[in-house]
Every structure is written in C-alpha cells, then in structure tokens.
C-alpha cells in the first residue's frame, strides 16, 4: 500500500479514496469549510453573529494574558463542540509563529527607553522585562481576537451572515451588496487560480523568482483580473436588471420586501437568552476594564510572579 | 513501420485535490509525436485535470508524468517544460497579461530568459503562423474580438516552440465558421509536425479533426483508440454522457442494413447508404 | 391569434459604433410559439432579444428607431414591473447569473424584487423546483453546485415569475452534453405543458430545431429568413455557405431528396428519418 505525497492531506492510502468523494464530509464556503451538521446550527444566525462580536472583539478589553489564554481555550472547546474540522486550523500555524517571532523580536531588539524597565540577561542578551511582558500581552490578545473570529467563519456559512444582518434590520441594499461582494470574491479566487496556472504555462517559475520580481508579478495579475471583472460586471448588471432589481433595492410592486430566507429560521427563547447574555457580557467586560481597570496587568498573577523573581 | 517517439507519458498517475477528492485514478497513457488527440468526457470526469497533469500545471499525487524525459514532479522544471508543451486555456482573458499584442507574445520567451534578438524573432514567427498582422502589434488585447484574442493566446504559446499543444475547448462560444477557422488552424499546426491535444464537448469537431480519442469517466480512461473505434461504442460513451455525432448515431441505427457503425460525416453516410441500397432500384432524376 | 411580439422596422445603433447592430427588423412572434434565432456571432441575435426584453435601450446607450410591441403595448411605455413580470430572460453564463448565497435565495430573489407575499413565493417555489427537478439543491451555496445545475436554477428562478414570454440567450453554450440535454428537456416540458412563448438564441441547432415552430436566421444585423423548420431547411446550400451548422440528418436527407429518393418534409431528428430510410433500404428493385 503506497502512501502518496500530497502536502495538505497527509499520508493517506490512495486505494481507499473514492472518486469525487472528499475524505471529510464538509460544506465548502468562501473561506474554507463548515461541518455538515453541528449543534451550533440549532441557534439562530444572529446568536452566532453575536458570538463573533463577543469572542472576536472583547479580548481588546483584556490585558491579562492568562485570561486571554483561557479565552482561546474556551474558543477551541467551542469549536470542538461545534464539530469543526480542527485540522483546518493547521493553515494558521505559520501565521501564529510569524506573529510571535515578529512581536518578540521587536520587543528584544527595540525596547525603547524607560527608566522603570527592569533589565535581565538571557543567553547573553539584555532583555527588558516590562517590554517583553507587554509583547506577550499583545501577542496573546491578537491570538484571542484571531481565534474569536476564526470560530465564527468555521461554523457559519455566508447565508447565515446575511440572515443575521437582515435580522438586525440592516437595509437590504447593504446586505445584498455584501452578498454580491462575497460572490465577487469567490469568482476572483477562481480566476486567480486559473491565471496562476496560465502563468506557469508560459514558463513562469514562481518559486525561483526574486522578491522584487514576485512583487512585479502580482501587479501583472491586475490586467487579466480587471479584464475579467469588467466583462463580468456587465453580465451581472444585466442579470440583476432582468430580475427586476433596482439599485436602491425597491420593491417594484410597492410595499415591504419579503425575505424568504429569513423565514427559514426561528428565533427561540434560548436565542433571546444567549443574545442577551453575550451582549451583557460584552458590556460588563467593557465597563470592568474601562472604568474599573479589572483586566490590567497588575491583576495578572503571572506578572506578579515574574516581578517577584526579578526584584 | 517504426513506432513514433513518445513525447508525454503518464505512469500510474493519480491526482488528489487538496480537499482530498480523488480526481484521477491509475492513469497510464502515452502521447506520441504527430498525434491529433481529443479528450472527451462529462464535466468532472477528469479530462481537464489529466490535461493539466500532462502539461505539468499539476504535479501528480502518486505516479509520474514525464514530458520528453523530464519528470514533472521535480523542482525547477517549469521553464524547460514550457518549451516542450503548451496549454491554451478556454478563456483567453485568463492568459493575457500584457497591454500590447507584441508584449503578450514575447512574454513567454522573456520568462525563460531568451536574449532580446531571439525573443523578437520568435514573436514575428509566432504572429505570422497565427495570422496576426503586424498592424495589431501595438493594440491592447482587450479590444480585440474573441477570435483574435484566442489567436493571440495561441501565438504566445507558439512563441515557446513547444512540440505539443493542449487546447482547452477551442470552439466553445464560437459560431460554426469561427470554430472551423480555429480548428483548421490547429490542423495546419498538426500538419507542420506539432502534436495537438484538444479537450472538447463537440463531437462533430472530434469526428472531423481528431485521429485518436481518449474518453474519460470517473477519473479513469474508459476508452482510448482511433476516432472511428471510439464512436462505434456508444454504450460505453453513454457512461460519461458522450454521444457520437448525429450522423454516426443514425448510421448505427441502420447497421443491420450493412451500414458501418463508424460513419463520421454526411458524405460518408451517403456513400454507405447508396452502397447498401438494393441493386437495380431506379433513381428519379 | 394576434402575435404577442411585433417588431416593426427596428433599427439600433450602439453608442460609439459606426454600423447599426440591427437594421430594418420586421418580425412577428405568435403567442405560445417556440421561436429559435440562429446565425453567426455578431449577427445581432443578442441585441435583438435584448430589445424585446427592454434591456435595450434601458441599460445601453444608442439610437433606437422603429417599434417593439409586446402584448399589445410599446416596450417604451411599459413599466419595470410589467417587463419583469411578463418577460423572463436567461443568459449564457451560469456563473454571472447566480448572485445569491443559496439556491433558495436565488430562486426567491426575482419574486422578492417584484413584491410577492411569502405564501405566494412558497407556492411558486414548490411548483418550479418540481418542474426543473432541483428539490435537493435548495440549501446549497454556489460553491457546491456545477454550471449545469446553476443554469437550471437560473431558468427556475425566471419561471417562478410565470412570465408570458421566456427568452433564453445561448442557454447551453457553456454546458457539457449532460447539461445541454437537461436544458433541452426543460424547454421541451415548457413547450408541451405551459402556454409560454419561448424565444431561444442558439448555435446548438441540432437540438433546438426539432422543438421550434419558427426559425429566424440573422446575419449582419438583419433577419434573412424566418420560416417553419420544414420550410427553413428546404434550401440547404445558402445556409451552409453562411456557415450555419445544418443538422446532419437534414443535410443527409436533403441530398437524398435531390436524388429523388426522399420525399419532403425533411427530417430534423433521427426518429423522423429512420422510417423513410428503412423503407428505401428495404425496397425491392424494379426489375
């Protein structure tokens, strides 16, 4: 039984693969995949949208790194509960390392001057404690924000997003515009794939290019992308015209616009409760930090511990 | 008679997309000098994926593809392979990167690092072969009609002087005359010694131009043979939703009267029909 | 029965172009008929059907002369609402016509724009998904369906508006043979079951001709010929000179007709030709 060497799906026995049946049953979305079934789907899209606001924004209020790490762990648990394909997170690993490298390097190499900074030596280099701890704070916070957003996009389809916007009474032309942008982004990505193949067919070996040439290359993509976009814009415009769509989204026959898709979802009692809970939590955290400074570094046990060692 | 040289060879070729879907299974295939081949099969059967593997646009997940001796799984072979095999995409807009026709045709040779003088030579040569007049050299390709844009795309591949040219759907969206024009052009290239492979859904075109047909279905080669052989097996073709041309199907309906099952054109059918008629029947004039 | 569409001396010139894209077009289309429009590219076929739908002159700049009357009223006097409800339009590219996030939303979009109630929309959805056989696809997003499926959904979304006139501009040109067959099947069903007036622009003459009541040939902005299929293919040679892909079977029978072996009408399908050809092959010699 031979292993095959495809980078992204790992060692798998090719013989067991069935034609046109993906290994994991997932639904494709613009940014990746979402599970076919998930306990999270029983919640209204608005409830899940609020989770994006809470989980993906609230870490801005938290300085203490321990709390943000806990935050991240909760998010990971939520994703596991939601039946997310956790192997999808592998693509974020390079990002996680790069950001860490960048932030900590800056903290070490460009500490700035502040008389309150406590220096210590590590492997022969002088590092300023407060600077590096602050780098840790920022890094963990960025990761918490990132994961807070990722969990939303790995458990929600585009239609969920638009339904939540419609439920929140965002005007139809705006939500339709968002939808059209998503569709446009998808077509854009498909075109990019083909254009890159076409480049390879003309002898372009991207891997062997110098950095400045690669930058020029991306500028060159503009020509085919714009050509395709212009031609498509015309077609899409005509398609909208024949469906009676006007720029302002008015209803031709007068009256209020029906939203067929919104009627597929029910807002249950637990949705009301969860939305209230999430909004309440968000506001509470904001107040606790902005008014009462509850999440500042001085409340961090880790910080206290390190300081006690150094002084 | 000596066997023609093998240009492109696939051996136990498998291809799996990044999401884990299997697209090609255990493909063994040889493409020889001077062939005119058509890849047919329903959408999703793997014909385009196979073509892209055979032109090194995709690397095999398992098995190998060699193009004139070069293994496509190796690194750094892109430039060399572009000199041996070309791929023309269905939509010319995907493969036009420059703002003048001349720059566009010169793009490939420049990428592989040829000297200026040779680039200019190749541009002139390719444009002449593709029927692109010098007066068009400074035109922006966006403003050319589709047929001409397709020729510019083909010319830019010809500038690499590949032995084999793959063309994805040369006739889609074209009217009859335009289709015949581009196909006759490909036929001229073939007569000059190029190996031509087309991916297409248009069976009448296959009947008129291809000498060998590879029928793809469910990621495998269902049939591989001469055009006549292939179209004589409609039951297998049906598995991948391919139908022989109308006149061929008609001939097959009348095969019990001695009409051959591999008729490819109306004149051929007429001839076969007249031969199959009972002798001595008067013809009204 | 009065014709449902009347084009009278229609001229159209796109802004910035020297030539007229449509010249002296005089055409009548009967209600509930199936009209196919064929001809080389750039002949003006898309321009013509765009005029009938009102896309021209509303979405394009240029000079329009002559008149287009649909259901007894001049197109210029019709409201957007009337046009959207009366005339459906399907283009060639399935991708550009699918702008919603799920099939259901795409199907409902046109109806929501017109202002139908939720109950009305639900009823029409049920009817249209059954007719085009897309019940399993309702929940899918555009990333999960093929081009052929998208085209069926586009047709369904137009049908849901229950237009009296349904225009399709090269609906099968970007589809594989299976996709083409599915569209032809839907058109066949529409012709047989609904009283819709169908206008189809196509290069795929082999499959469209047998369905047609009238075939219109266009070239260079003019209508060269407009006949029933049997009469249309009476004289094959000028058609072939124009580059029209005459169905093989029709061309073959036309040759036999010239030899005095075949009696008109000329066949448009294999089924129509089989009987007569078998007879010819089975006839004893007159000895």
CATH number at residue C141: 3.40.50.300
Same domain, A95 and A151: yes
**Is residue B260 one of the residues assigned to a domain?**
yes
- Supply the pLDDT for residue A256: 85
Same domain, A150 and A290: yes
Q: Which among B241, B243, B278 has CB closest to C284?
A: B278
Distances from the Cα of B119 to the Cαs of B69, B82, B87, B114, B133, in angstroms? 26, 15, 19, 6, 17
List pLDDT tens digits, range C163-175: 999 999 999 999 9
Same domain, B145 and B250: no
**Is residue A178 one of the residues assigned to a domain?**
no
- Supply the pLDDT for residue A98: 93
- Supply the pLDDT for residue A110: 83
B140 touches B100 (CB < 8 A): yes
Same domain, A272 and A137: yes
Same domain, A85 and A136: yes
Same domain, B270 and B215: no
- Supply the pLDDT for residue C284: 52
Same domain, A143 and A200: no
Same domain, C275 and C165: no
Same domain, B234 and B169: yes
CB proximity under 8 Å: C 103-142 to A: 104-105, 108-118, 121-122, 125, 141-142
Same domain, A44 and A118: yes
Same domain, B141 and B227: yes
Q: Can you name the residues that pair with C216 across neighbouring β-strands?
A: C37, C226
Residues 6+ apart with CB under 8 A from A177: none
- Supply the pLDDT for residue A33: 86
Of residues C186, C274, C204, the one with CA closest to residue B203: C204
**Is residue A285 one of the residues assigned to a domain?**
yes
Same domain, C39 and C143: yes
Domain count, chain B: 2
Same domain, B179 and B250: no
CB atoms C81 and A180 under 8 Å = no
Which chain C residues are Cβ-neighbours of A255 within 8 angstroms? 115
B246 touches C249 (CB < 8 A): yes
3-state SS, chain A, equals CCECCCCCCCCCEHHHCCECCCCCCEEECCCCEEECCCHHHHCCHHHHHHHHHHHHHHHHHCCCHHHHHHHHHHHHHHHHHCCCCHHHHHHHHHHHHHHHHHHHHHHHHCCCCCCCCCEEEECCEEEEHHHHHHHHHHHHHHHHHHHHHHHHHCCCCHHHHHHHHHHCCCCHHHHHHHHHHHHHHHHHHHHHHHHHHHHHHCCCCHHHCCHHHHHHHHHHCHHHHHHHHHHHHHHHHHHHHHCCCCCCCCCCCCCCCCCCCHHHCCCCHHHHHHHHHHHHHHHHHHHHHHCCCCCCHHHCHHHHHHHHHHC
**Is residue A249 one of the residues assigned to a domain?**
yes
**Is residue B284 one of the residues assigned to a domain?**
no
Same domain, B160 and B131: yes
Same domain, B258 and B238: no
Same domain, C20 and C142: yes
Domain count, chain C: 2
The first and second tokens of residue A223, run together, are: 């020509």
- Supply the pLDDT for residue A20: 67
Residue A144 has pLDDT above 90, yes or no: yes
Same domain, C23 and C165: yes
Same domain, A152 and A222: no
Q: Is A185 on the interface with C (CB under 8 A)?
A: no
Mutate to test the interface with C, among B147, B245, B281 (most CBs of C within 10 A): B281
* Distance of residue C48 Cα from the nearest chain A Cα, in angstroms: 15
User: Going residue by residue through chain B (285 aa), what tens digit of pLDDT does each one get?
Assistant: 567 899 999 999 999 987 778 999 999 999 999 999 999 999 989 999 999 999 999 999 999 999 999 999 998 888 889 999 999 999 999 999 888 999 999 998 988 889 999 999 999 999 998 889 989 999 999 888 888 899 999 999 999 999 999 999 999 888 899 899 999 999 999 999 999 999 999 999 999 999 999 999 999 999 999 999 999 999 999 999 999 999 999 999 999 999 999 999 999 999 999 999 887 555 554
* Distance of residue B42 Cα from the nearest chain C Cα, in angstroms: 6
Same domain, A144 and A25: yes
Domain count, chain A: 2
B26 touches B13 (CB < 8 A): yes
> B255 is in which domain, residue-wise?
245-276
Same domain, C56 and C39: yes
* Distance of residue B176 Cα from the nearest chain A Cα, in angstroms: 23
* Residue C285 binned pLDDT confidence (cut-offs 50, 70, 90): very low
* Distance of residue B118 Cα from the nearest chain A Cα, in angstroms: 16
Residue A8 has pLDDT above 90, yes or no: no
Greater confidence (C154 vs B283) lies with: C154
State mean pLDDT over A270-288: 93
The first and second tokens of residue B161, run together, are: 């002087």
Same domain, B57 and B134: yes
Same domain, C240 and C265: no
* Residue A128 binned pLDDT confidence (cut-offs 50, 70, 90): confident
**Is residue A7 one of the residues assigned to a domain?**
no
> A50 is in which domain, residue-wise?
14-156+268-310
Which chain C residues are Cβ-neighbours of A30 within 8 angstroms? 143
- Supply the pLDDT for residue A16: 62
Same domain, C215 and C256: no
- Supply the pLDDT for residue A7: 37
List pLDDT tens digits, range C203-262: 999 999 999 999 999 999 999 999 999 899 998 989 988 889 999 999 999 999 999 999
> C80 is in which domain, residue-wise?
5-246
Same domain, C272 and C220: no
Same domain, B157 and B271: no
Residue A22 has pLDDT above 70, yes or no: no
Same domain, A101 and A65: yes
The model's pTM is 0.89
C203 touches C245 (CB < 8 A): yes
Q: Is C284 on the interface with B (CB under 8 A)?
A: yes
DSSP H helix total and E strand total for chain B: 11, 10
Radius of gyration of chain C (CA): 21
Measure the CA–CA gap between C205 and C233, rounded to whole angstroms: 12
């Amino acid at each position: 039984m031979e292993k095959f060497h495809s980078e992204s799906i790992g060692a798998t026995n090719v013989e067991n693969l069935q034609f046109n049946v993906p290994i994991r049953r997932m639904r494709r979305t613009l940014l990746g995949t979402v599970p076919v079934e998930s306990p999270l789907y029983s919640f209204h899209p608005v409830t899940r949208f609020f989770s994006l606001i809470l989980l993906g924004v609230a870490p801005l209020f938290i300085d203490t790194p321990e709390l943000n790490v806990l935050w991240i762990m909760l998010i990971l648990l939520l994703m596991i509960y939601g039946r997310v394909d956790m192997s999808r997170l592998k693509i974020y690993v390079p990002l996680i390392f790069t950001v860490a490298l960048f932030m900590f390097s800056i903290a070490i190499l460009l500490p700035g001057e502040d008389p309150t900074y406590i220096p210590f030596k590590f492997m022969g280099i002088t590092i300023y404690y407060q600077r590096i701890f602050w780098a840790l704070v920022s890094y963990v916070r960025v990761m918490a924000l990132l994961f807070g957003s990722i969990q939303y996009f790995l458990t929600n389809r585009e239609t969920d997003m638009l339904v939540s916007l419609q439920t929140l009474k965002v005007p139809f032309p705006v939500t339709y515009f968002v939808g059209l942008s998503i569709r446009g982004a998808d077509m854009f990505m498909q075109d990019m794939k083909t254009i890159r193949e076409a480049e390879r067919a003309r002898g372009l070996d991207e891997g062997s290019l110098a950095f400045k040439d690669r930058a020029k290359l991306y500028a060159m993509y503009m020509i085919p992308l714009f050509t395709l976009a212009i031609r498509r814009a015309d077609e899409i415009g005509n398609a909208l015209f024949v469906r009676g769509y006007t720029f302002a989204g008015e209803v031709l026959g007068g009256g209020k616009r029906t939203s067929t898709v919104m009627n597929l979802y029910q807002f249950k009692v637990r949705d009301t409760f969860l939305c209230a809970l999430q909004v309440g939590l968000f506001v509470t955290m904001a107040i606790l930090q902005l008014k009462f400074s509850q999440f500042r570094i001085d409340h961090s046990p880790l910080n206290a511990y390190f300081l006690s060692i150094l002084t | 008679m000596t066997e023609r040289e093998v240009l492109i060879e696939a051996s136990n070729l498998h291809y799996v997309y990044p999401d884990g879907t299997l697209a090609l299974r255990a493909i063994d295939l040889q493409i020889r000098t001077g062939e005119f081949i058509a890849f047919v099969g329903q959408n999703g059967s793997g014909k385009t994926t196979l073509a892209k593997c055979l032109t090194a646009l995709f690397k095999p997940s398992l098995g190998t593809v060699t193009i004139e001796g070069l293994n496509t799984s190796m690194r750094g072979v892109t430039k060399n392979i572009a000199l041996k095999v070309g791929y023309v995409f269905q939509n010319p807009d995907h493969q036009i990167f420059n703002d003048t026709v001349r720059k566009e045709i010169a793009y490939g040779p420049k990428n592989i690092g040829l000297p200026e003088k040779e680039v200019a030579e190749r541009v002139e040569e390719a444009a002449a072969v593709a029927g692109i007049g010098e007066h068009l050299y400074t035109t922006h390709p966006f403003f050319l009609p589709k047929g001409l844009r397709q020729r510019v795309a083909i010319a830019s591949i010809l500038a690499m002087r590949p032995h084999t040219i793959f063309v994805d759907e040369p006739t889609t969206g074209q009217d009859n005359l335009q289709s015949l024009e581009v196909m006759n052009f490909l036929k001229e290239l073939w007569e000059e010694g190029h190996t031509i492979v087309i991916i297409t859904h248009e069976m009448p075109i296959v009947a008129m131009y291809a000498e060998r047909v590879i029928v793809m279905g469910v990621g495998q080669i269902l049939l591989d043979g001469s055009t006549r052989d292939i179209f004589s097996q409609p039951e297998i073709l049906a598995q991948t939703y391919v139908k022989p041309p109308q006149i061929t199907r008609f001939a097959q309906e009348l095969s019990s009267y001695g009409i051959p099952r591999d008729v490819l054109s109306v004149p051929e059918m007429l001839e076969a029909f007249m031969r199959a008629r009972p002798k001595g029947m008067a013809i009204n004039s | 029965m009065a014709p449902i569409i009347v084009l009278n001396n229609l001229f159209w010139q796109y802004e910035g172009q020297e030539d007229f894209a449509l010249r002296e077009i005089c055409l009548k289309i009967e209600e509930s008929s199936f009209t196919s429009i064929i001809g080389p590219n750039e002949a003006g076929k898309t321009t013509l059907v765009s005029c009938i739908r009102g896309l021209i002159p509303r979405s394009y700049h240029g000079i329009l002369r002559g008149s287009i009357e649909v259901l007894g009223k001049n197109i210029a006097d019709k409201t957007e609402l009337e046009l959207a409800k009366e005339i459906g339009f399907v283009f060639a590219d399935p991708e550009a016509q699918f702008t919603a996030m799920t099939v259901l939303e795409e199907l409902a979009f046109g109806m929501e724009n017109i202002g139908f109630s939720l109950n009305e929309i639900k009823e029409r959805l049920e009817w249209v998904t059954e007719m085009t056989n897309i019940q399993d696809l309702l929940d899918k997003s555009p990333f999960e369906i093929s081009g052929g499926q998208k085209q069926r959904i586009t047709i369904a979304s137009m049908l849901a508006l229950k237009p009296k006139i349904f225009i399709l501009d090269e609906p099968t040109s970007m589809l594989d043979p299976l996709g083409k067959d599915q569209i032809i099947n839907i058109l066949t069903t529409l012709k047989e079951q609904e009283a819709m007036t169908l206008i189809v622009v196509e290069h795929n003459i082999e499959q469209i001709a047998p369905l047609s009541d009238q075939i219109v040939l266009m070239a260079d902005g003019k209508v060269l010929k407009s006949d029933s299929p049997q009469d249309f293919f009476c004289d094959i040679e000028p058609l072939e000179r124009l580059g029209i892909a005459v169905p093989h079977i029709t061309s073959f029978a036309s040759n036999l007709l010239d030899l005095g072996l075949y009696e008109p009408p000329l066949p448009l399908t294999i089924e129509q030709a089989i009987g007569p050809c078998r007879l010819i092959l089975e006839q004893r010699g007159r000895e």
